[in-house]
Amino acid sequence: GAGVSQSPSNKVTEKGKDVELRCDPISGHTALYWYRQSLGQGLEFLIYFQGNSAPDKSGLPSDRFSAERTGGSVSTLTIQRTQQEDSAVYLCASSPRLAGLTYEQYFGPGTRLTVT
């Protein structure tokens, strides 16, 4: 079946502009995660959605970052007033997480964001 998809694959934007990154999880996966991978570093957790529960936003680095998930499926990560330090690869993952269990996460190919 289809995996996690993300769009765009690459995004170049000017400092101060807003950007929206999209994630389409695997059909039927209830959990959705956003991560950021900066050059030469590991992955940094940003935000987590599970079903209809309130999202876990504990990883968002500033209030310029926000995300929503409509209809329990597609998610959009928005970065307002982008800064050069926001340049990174943004990865989305989904998981068929069930209560009390942890399943592996399936990652999309990422969106490479470059802020000039």
Partner 1 sequence: AQSVTQLDSHVSVSEGTPVLLRCNYSSSYSPSLFWYVQHPNKGLQLLLKYTSAATLVKGINGFEAEFKKSETSFHLTKPSAHMSDAAEYFCVVSSGSARQLTFGSGTQLTVLP
Note the residues at the interface with partner 1 (CB under 8 A). 4, 31, 33, 35, 41-43, 45, 48, 50, 56, 59, 91, 93, 97, 102, 104-110
Rounded to a whole number of angstroms, the minimum distance from the CB of residue 48 to partner 1 is: 5
CA atoms of 75 and 16, how far apart (whole Å) = 23
C-beta of 35 vs 79, nearer to partner 1: 35
80 closest CA partner among 90, 91, 65, 69: 65
Which residue lies nearer to partner 1 by CB, 41 or 84? 41
Are 18 and 78 in contact by the 8 Å Cβ rule? The answer is yes
